[in-house]
Structure 1
Amino acid sequence: MDARLNIFANPLAQKVFKHVNSAGAVLGHSTLPAATQELVKIRASQINGCGFCTDMHTKDAAHAGETAQRLHLVAAWREATVFTEAERAALELTEQGTRIADAAGGVSDEAWAEAAKHYDEDQLVALVGLIAVINLYNRINVLIRQPAGDYVPGQFA
């Protein structure tokens, strides 16, 4: 299956995504733990049905040393015992921030307060930005039907 658009070759897409990628790079260099960043990207991608991003971020996480057990349990993180309280707070914020139409008022005060217990202000900024950016990429890839399965870690570095 081919994508509906080749956003990697289109000059307009390259101009737009240069800025989005820059934002992602800034967020990636924050003090938010790298493992948490990948878990957030994986969970949002699972919720949004973005095979391309799920493939990319599970492979990137594994390449960075994440365990297979934790990667297999991201979708069932509430029942899993392998995530820290901070990671669980980030995953809850990710779910609520991704499914904003599911609850009146978007993200609950409880989810925000739990995340704020574990992350400082800069890390919360990074977490919010990361959730927004991965949701953007998920939506683009789902819209254009970007195929999944062929990503190689470091491919877009």
Structure 2
Amino acid sequence: MNAIATTTDSRLPDPLQLVPELGEVGGALFKAVGNGSIPRTTIGLVQLRAGQIVGSTYLNVLHTGNLRKSGESEERISSVATWRDAPSFTDAERVALELVEAVLTPTSNGERVPDELYARAAGHYEDKALATLIMAICQVNFFVPLALIGKPRPGVSPAEQWRPATAE
């Protein structure tokens, strides 16, 4: 039986060591999203917003750090949670942020992405770019269970994110 981790430790050992196939899946998603049809900044903003919505400190720190490394301004990074009234986002970024919110936020009528929102997104992104934006939402959501259940340590190197494996 595995020991209970402390609040500063991750709950799992490195999932990539436990399930090496994860590297292939993660790499394929990264490659698909990085096809150049969507600006990396937009992808980062969307993925940061997803981390905020699901309440993952790990994803928030990861995507905030990635945006900083890419030269994104602190004003835009700190405004992602309140993007609707922040003046610093383009219309295309706004619809991308609205799309990730729609996907991750249940509604009372069951329709998360109404035709009107899809039409606005399609008005800003051609088909390949829209499919890539959808894949960016898929990519971050693929890792949400690992972030929420496994609780990797935020803000440290990948080698330090996961607790050491225990002997079986």
Whether these two folds match at TM > 0.5 is: yes
* d(CA) in 1 for partners of 2:48, 2:153: 16
**How far apart, in 2, do the equivalents of 1:45 and 1:151 lie?**
19
Q: Give 1:11's match in structure 2, choosing from 18, 30, 39.
A: 18
- State the AA in 2 paired with 1:59: G
- What one-letter code is carried by the residue in structure 1 that aligns with 2:34? G
Q: For the residues of structure 2 that align with 1:108 and 1:17, how far apart are their CA atoms?
A: 34
Q: Secondary structure at the match of 2:89?
A: coil
For the aligned residue pairs, the C-alpha RMSD in angstroms reads 1.6
What 5-or-longer segments of structure 1 have no aligned partner? 153-157
| TM-score, structure 2 as length reference | 0.82
How many equivalent residue pairs?
A: 150
Greater Cα radius of gyration, structure 1 or 2: 2
Q: Return 3-12 or 123-132, whichever deviates more.
A: 3-12
The reply on whether 1:135 has 2:130 as its aligned counterpart is no
Gaps of 5+ in 2: 1-7, 159-168
Percent identity among equivalent residues?
31
List structure 1 runs of 4+ shifted beyond 6 angstroms.
Answer: none
Matched, 1:33 2:36: no
What is the one-letter code of the residue matched to 1:136?
Answer: F
The secondary structure found in structure 2 opposite 1:128 is helix
Deviation at 1:151, TM superposition (A): 5.0
Please tell me whether residue 2 in structure 1 is matched to residue 9 in structure 2. yes
| Alpha-carbon distance between aligned partners in 2 of 1:66 and 1:151, rounded to the nearest angstrom | 21
Contact persistence 2:44–2:67 (CA under 8 A)? yes
